[in-house]
Amino acid sequence: MKKWLIIGAAVVVVALIAVNMLKSSNKALGVEAGQVARKDLVEVVTASGTLTPKRKVDVSASTIGKVTRLAVREGDRVEQGQLLLEIDPTEFRSVVDALQAAVRTARANLDLTRAGRDKAQQDLERARSLFGSGLSSQEQIDAAETNARIEEARTASAEATLRQTEANLSKARYDLDKVTITSPMAGVVTRLNVEEGENAIMGTLNNAGTVLLTVADLATMEAEVDVDETEVVRVKLGQPVKVEVDAFPDTSFAGTVTEIGNSPIYTSTGQSQQAVDFKITVTLDDPIVGVRPGLTAKAEITVADAKQVLSVPIGAVTVREWPPLPKAGKGRRPRPTTAAADTVKREEVEGVFVIEGGKALFKTVEIGVTGEEDFEVLSGLADGQQIVTGPFRILRDLQHEEAVKVDTKKKGADADKKRD
């Protein structure tokens, strides 16, 4: 009797386990749902960088000397040709004075040699006239001709000496002018690197020299931003850009992509890894009052947009191997592959789960523009279809044709949150 009681209890336990397993296998998964809808989508590439003037000039020293006069301060507005600073002109002015005296001497010497040339020419003509009258010999004529040629050569030499001295004077005057530095353009002095009494050093082949100051036109500003190598291929000249500057919160400025760099910028990220970026130049459409070069800026480059296109939430798109493996009959996991199943070529594809008849059906889709929260769907879905949007822990393992039910409580809570 006791034996039969044990057997009966075992049968009951097995039956209960089987019933529970059956219920578990047939239990629909609670999911969040949304709909395929038409929306306006904008795809942007975000990058950060700094503001810089579109036009600026670094004023460097063209000669070596001490700064004896500084006529501007950092932040001053200057006009083209306005005096900025002066380098000690004493040495250069003395050279000019000496060469001016040398020019006067060369001109006097030239006048003297020209007079000698004219006298030698007259003597030659007189000797020829006398020779025709029989009063002069051929020897006298030859001597007069030789003297005339000598005086002509002396005159040519004096003329060359004068030209060389005048050229030296012009160069000395040019060097003297270089010590008085004026503004090459109208703008603002954005950087001043010297003070009165400091020495300015001119640039050489291996030395850039002293950058005395920088004059920039702040009316037209540019944002130079670094774009990742994976996104730069989508950036094109002329694309619209929204620029935000940290110094001007709650304000954005419109701009346009005007330059795309071709040289990579390598940045070390640790452990011998490097990030590769490319410089993108964005020209702002309007001036910014109170702007300063070097302000931090963030740019949102519009690389694509689409009007009223089919779209799904980004979180609804997932990846599965397709076509699916044969179902196991119970539970959520597919059966292990078999020799027959291995003959079917499967690959990972993007898709969403469409809810039809209480089941989640995986539909492959082609993705277009990526908006802030939604993907454009180019093919695979129709307007108004109900799709699984979450939660992620369910969507991560959800299988094709698996039973699901929409969690209305979650949907209602989300609706209340949106109304708030």
pTM above 0.75, yes or no: no
- The pLDDT tens digits of the residues spanning 94-132 come to 999 999 999 999 999 999 999 988 888 888 888 888 877
Q: 63: which residues sit within 8 A by CB, 6+ positions away?
A: 87, 92, 175, 178, 179, 200, 202
- The pLDDT tens digits of the residues spanning 275-292 come to 899 999 999 999 998 899
Q: Is 167 left (phi over 0), alpha (psi -120 to 50) or beta?
A: alpha
The mean pLDDT value for 188-207 works out to 79
Q: 396 exposed, middle or buried (CB, 10 Å; 0-12, 13-18, 19+)? A: exposed
Q: What are phi and psi of 323, to 5 degrees?
A: -70, 160
- DSSP letter string over 69-100? EE---TT-EE-TT-EEEEE--HHHHHHHHHHH
Cα–Cα dist 388/143, whole Å:
119
Statement: residue 380 has pLDDT above 50: yes
Predicted confidence band at 349 (pLDDT cuts at 50, 70, 90)?
A: very high
Q: Return the DSSP state at 250.
A: T
Compare 140 and 50 and report the one with higher pLDDT.
50
Q: What is the mean pLDDT of the chain?
A: 85
Sheet with 199-200: list strands edge to edge. Answer: 180-182, 83-87, 65-70, 199-200
Share of the chain above pLDDT 70, in %: 84
pLDDT of residue 244: 94
The DSSP bridge pattern shows strands 252-270 and 240-245 to be: antiparallel
Q: Which two tokens stand for residue 286?
A: 């309007």
- The pLDDT tens digits of the residues spanning 158-172 come to 999 999 999 999 999
Statement: residue 11 has pLDDT above 60: no
- The pLDDT tens digits of the residues spanning 29-85 come to 899 999 999 999 999 999 999 999 999 999 888 888 899 999 999 999 999 999 999
Cα–Cα dist 53/361, whole Å:
56
Strands (E) in 88-210, as ranges, are 180-182, 187-192, 199-200
Statement: residue 235 has pLDDT above 60: yes
Predicted confidence band at 312 (pLDDT cuts at 50, 70, 90)?
A: very high
